[in-house]
Structure 1
Amino acid sequence: MPLGASRLTRDWLPDDPPTAKSVKELRRYIRATLKPAVREFDGLGRANVVAGTSKTFRSLARIAGAAPSDAGPYVKRELNATDLGIWAQRISAMKAEDRLHLPGVSEARAHQLLAGALVAEAALELFKFKKLRICPWALREGLILRRLDQLVFDGPLEPAPHITPPQAAGVAAIQ
Structure 2
Amino acid sequence: MRLGVLDVGSNTVHLLLLDAHAGAHPIPAFSHKVELHLSQLTDEQGAIVPSGIERLCYVVAHALRVAEDKGAEEMLAFATSAVREAANGDEVLAKVREETGVELEVLPGPDEAKLTFLAVRRWFGWSAGRLLVLDIGGGSLEIAVGLDELPDVMESLPLGASRLTHDRLKGDPPGPEELRELRRYVRHEIAKGVSRVARVGRPDRVVITSKTFRQLARIAGAAPSAQGLYAPRSLRARDLTEWVPRLAQMSTAQRAGLPGVSEGRAAQLLAGAVVADAAFDLFNVEVADLCPWALREGVILRRLDTLVS
Flag whether TM exceeds 0.5 (same fold).
Answer: yes
The residue that corresponds to 1:15 in the other structure is: 171
Instruction: Note the C-alpha offset of 1:41.
Output: 1.3
In structure 1, distance between residues paired with 2:286 and 2:294: 21
Instruction: Name the counterpart of 2:306.
Output: 151
Amino acid at match of 2:306: L
Structure number with greater Rg is 1
Q: Distance in 2 between matches of 1:102 and 1:143?
A: 32
TM-score scaled to structure 2, two decimals?
0.48
Supply the distance in 2 between the matched residues of 1:96 and 1:79 (Cα, whole angstroms). 22
Structure-1 separation of matches of 2:204 and 2:299 = 21
Q: 2:272 aligns with which of 104, 108, 116?
A: 116
2:160 aligns with 4
Q: Which has the higher strand share?
A: 2
Which of the pair is proportionally richer in helix?
1
**Over aligned residue pairs, what C-alpha RMSD do you find?**
1.5
CA contact (8 A) 1:55 1:138 kept: no
Task: Report the TM-score, using the length of structure 1 for normalisation.
Answer: 0.83
* SS of residue in 1 equivalent to 2:289: strand
- Note the residue ranges of structure 2 that are not aligned, 5 or more in a row: 1-156
- Residue 258 of structure 2: SS of its match in structure 1? coil
Please give the secondary structure, in 1, of the residue aligned with 2:179: helix
Could you say which residue in structure 1 is the equivalent of 2:188?
A: 32
Question: Post-superposition shift, 1:137?
Answer: 2.7
What is aligned with 1:168? none
Among 288, 293, 299, which residue is 1:132 paired with? 288
Please give the alpha-carbon distance, in whole angstroms, between the structure 1 residues aligned to 2:226 and 2:299: 24
Question: Any unmatched runs of 5+ in structure 1?
Answer: 157-175
Q: Is the 8 A contact 1:84 1:117 kept in 2?
A: yes
Counterpart of 1:58, as a letter, is R
Q: 1:162 maps to which residue? A: none
Distance 1:72 1:139 in 2: 20
Deviation at 1:143, TM superposition (A): 2.7
CA drift at 1:48: 1.5
How many equivalent pairs are there? 153
